[in-house]
Amino acid sequence: MSRFNHLSTDGDASSTPAGEKDPLNAFWQKYLELMEEDDERRAHEWDGNTTGILTFTGLFAATVAAFVIEGYKQLSVDSGDETVELLKLLIAIQNSTALPISSAINDSSFDAPVVAVISNALWFCSLVISLGCALLATLVQQWARDYKRDMKSRNKLDEDLLSRAYNHIYLRMGVDLYGMDQIVYVIVSLMHLSVFLFAGGLLLFLFPLNSIVAWYTTAVLGLLGAAYIVASILPIYHSGCPYRTPLTYLLAAIAYLFSWIAQCVARSLYALGSHLPWRCRSSPSSQVQPPLQIKIIHRRRRLHRSHAPILRTKHFVYALSRYMSHQTLVTDAEIASLLHALLRMVNEQVLPDSRPGCIDHLCENQNLQTKLQAWAWDPSHTRDMAADAQISVLHFSCVLLQRLRRIDDSDTTEEHRVLMKHCASILLNIIGPNGSLGPRMRGDTRCMFRARCALFYMRHFLLSLSGGDVSRRHYRASLEVPSSDKSRQFSRGAESMAGELLTLLNTSLYNVLDMVDIPGVHHAPITDGPSCLVPLHDAGCCRSPNGPPTHMAACNVLTLIAHVMYTPEHDRNIYLSSELSFPNTFYFDEESVKGPLPFWAWYEYFKMKEEDQQLPPSVEFQMIIQNVDRLIGLRAVRSGLYESFIDALRNLQDHVDTRVMPYKLEGHGGFGPWAKKRMTARHTPVQPTASAHDIRKTTV
């Protein structure tokens, strides 16, 4: 199981209320709409550029051919000269005159002038290159028409939205990979080369004929060449200069190479301890970009009937970059919807081994970092969002926190620390009593359940990150806690350093989202800062927000069961019915030889002391055991789901003193839904008292 399988905290499209558009489908639909205009533009540019090349190539090839016809005669013996020499010889014989025999006749071999050979070679090369450019231009036009036809065929094929999006990504990435845009530029570069070859051959052809004409032609060609070189060099020193030529990238590569060599030399001198003047120590400051990499276009259409994960990190990065470059996200709701779509895409459509790379890309995205900073500094941004948008932001913050805290300390940068601070602040702002947990979200039990499941995994992740030791510095986060949320427990240093994020998530003063309304159980005043988790034991180890990690892990699982039990059945079943939600949300994805652990086997990772297992159970736990029939409805959701939660309750029951429990589950906890046991009542139902010391009632 992948380390990011828990990302799918939203389930499938069935969890989207009727009348609302699925954010993931909305993302792909918007992507295709934005790319349609760009596809038309690219194909039009290819066709327009090659049309101009064909026109110029036709005129230029005709000019070169005229000079070739005239110049190739110098490569062989002139038949006219031979005729004149023979006539002279015949006249001399007739007059019996002794005349020297012409060398042209005596010599059996003919050597063409070197200048003529070179000039003709240049002209023939120029002619062949120009004809090759014409052929390539016609091919590019054909490829452009094929590209337009492939893009248009998506409206004719029997494809759904996701298949069209996948095919578009593969086609567009193929165009970029195989350098369709660069091929047009290569044709232009070859045409420039053919012009230079023709000019060189022209000068060599003129000098033997007439030096005056040759020098005038050289002067004109020199001026044109100087202007061409200046136009090629200017963009290297000023990136805003539009006068780019094919020579620009060659010169930029040379300058880049010299700059790299100079920096290597400077580092070597510094390493050797050389004392050089400041002007000599300064490395070249010209910032030159390397030349374009001539990449190269595989076009193959696929029908994706199965929506199994097939995308890789490069596909995810490509789709997101193209979407962000064409779409302007203004409102917070639009950005939250995008985050929701991205998380679902990573979990449902990206291959497991590529998911960490996708999350890393999101962590490095400057636009998202800026928005997270704004949300962390001003909670009103998230407070005004709809419930679904708030949950999307909550999920995104949890995912980034989990990914960033997996990074080794040696690889953690200052930007990572700042981003962790912002994500933690957003998390506390959303789940806090004075944050963005507004009336709309309080009444939306479906969104509340989704958020609670995300916090369940987040809390377990924090516990397991350092083997259950909450005193390690991994848990310390530089958080900005609102001043109005201070309590006596966190009054010292609460504004600059909130302390342990796990403790804050367990404190009812900062986390009202996890508080469960258990009928018949009262609660202690919230100002005292008790734990928001459902306690397993009737002792401070489970009622304190900073109790032992093993007890926190047990209370975390018990709180999840309470959420499942007391959430309206319809909202709960919609979420749990998804094939992606349950195993990915409720499985502990540990990077160990044990592999991923099911949530009911929490005790395999957090070992509780034997003496702690004999502590009396809390009233809340006894009430949950008494009302376990509320979980029977899970049998209709999925096979084995009900048995899994019952198994979790048995495991928790094995860690308390059952002698004082009026109701209990028979048997002992195990691994799997196959252990079928029955619940029996030994005594009368538990009668909770109204004491705020040992029992409590939490409200949402």
Q: Give the model's pLDDT for residue 190.
A: 92
d(CA 586, CA 598): 7
- pLDDT above 80 for 87: no
- pLDDT above 50 for 88: yes
Q: Give the model's pLDDT for residue 14.
A: 43
Top-confidence residue, 135 or 421: 135
With pLDDT > 70 as the criterion, what percentage of the chain qualifies? 68
Burial of 674 by CB count in 10 Å (0-12 exposed, 13-18 middle, 19+ buried)?
exposed
Q: Are the C-beta atoms of 479 and 425 separated by less than 8 Å?
A: yes
299, two tokens: 């076009």
Task: Report the predicted TM-score, pTM, of the whole model to 2 decimal places.
Answer: 0.58
The residue type found at 52 is G
With pLDDT > 90 as the criterion, what percentage of the chain qualifies? 6
386, two tokens: 């709809």
Helices 332-349 and 387-406: crossing angle, nearest 10°?
Answer: 60
Burial of 276 by CB count in 10 Å (0-12 exposed, 13-18 middle, 19+ buried)?
exposed
Strand duo 663-665 + 587-588: pairing: unpaired
The mean predicted confidence, pLDDT, of the chain is: 72
Ranking 163-177, 315-329, 394-408 by mean pLDDT, the lowest is 394-408
Residue 311 pairs in a beta bridge with: 350
163, two tokens: 């298949």
Reported confidence tier of residue 692, pLDDT bands at 50, 70, 90: very low
Total number of residues shown for the chain:
700
- pLDDT above 60 for 586: no
Q: Give the model's pLDDT for residue 284.
A: 41
- pLDDT above 80 for 242: yes
Q: Give the model's pLDDT for residue 399.
A: 81
- pLDDT above 50 for 537: yes
- pLDDT above 50 for 699: no
Q: Give the model's pLDDT for residue 675.
A: 35
Q: What is the pLDDT of residues 113-155, one digit of tens each?
A: 888 889 889 999 999 999 999 999 999 888 888 888 877 765 5
3-state secondary structure 85-113: HHHHHHHHHHCCCCCCCCHHHHCCCCCCC
Ranking 112-121, 286-295, 313-322 by mean pLDDT, the lowest is 286-295
> Mean pLDDT throughout 255-283?
68
d(CA 135, CA 57): 10
Instruction: Say how many C-beta atoms besides its own lie within 10 A of residue 307's C-beta.
Output: 13
> Mean pLDDT throughout 344-373?
82
The DSSP result for 178-223, as a single string, is TTHHHHHHHHHHHHHHHHHHHHHHHHHHHTTT-HHHHHHHHHHHHH
Q: Give the model's pLDDT for residue 269.
A: 74
Task: Scan for tokens 């845009």, then name that residue.
Answer: 181
Top-confidence residue, 363 or 194: 194
593, two tokens: 């030889």
Q: Are the C-beta atoms of 420 and 477 separated by less than 8 Å?
A: yes
Top-confidence residue, 689 or 339: 339
- pLDDT above 70 for 458: yes
Reported confidence tier of residue 278, pLDDT bands at 50, 70, 90: very low
Instruction: Say how many C-beta atoms besides its own lie within 10 A of residue 223's C-beta.
Output: 10
- The contacts of residue 674 (CB under 8 Å, 6+ apart) are 643
| R_g of the chain, CA atoms, integer Å | 39
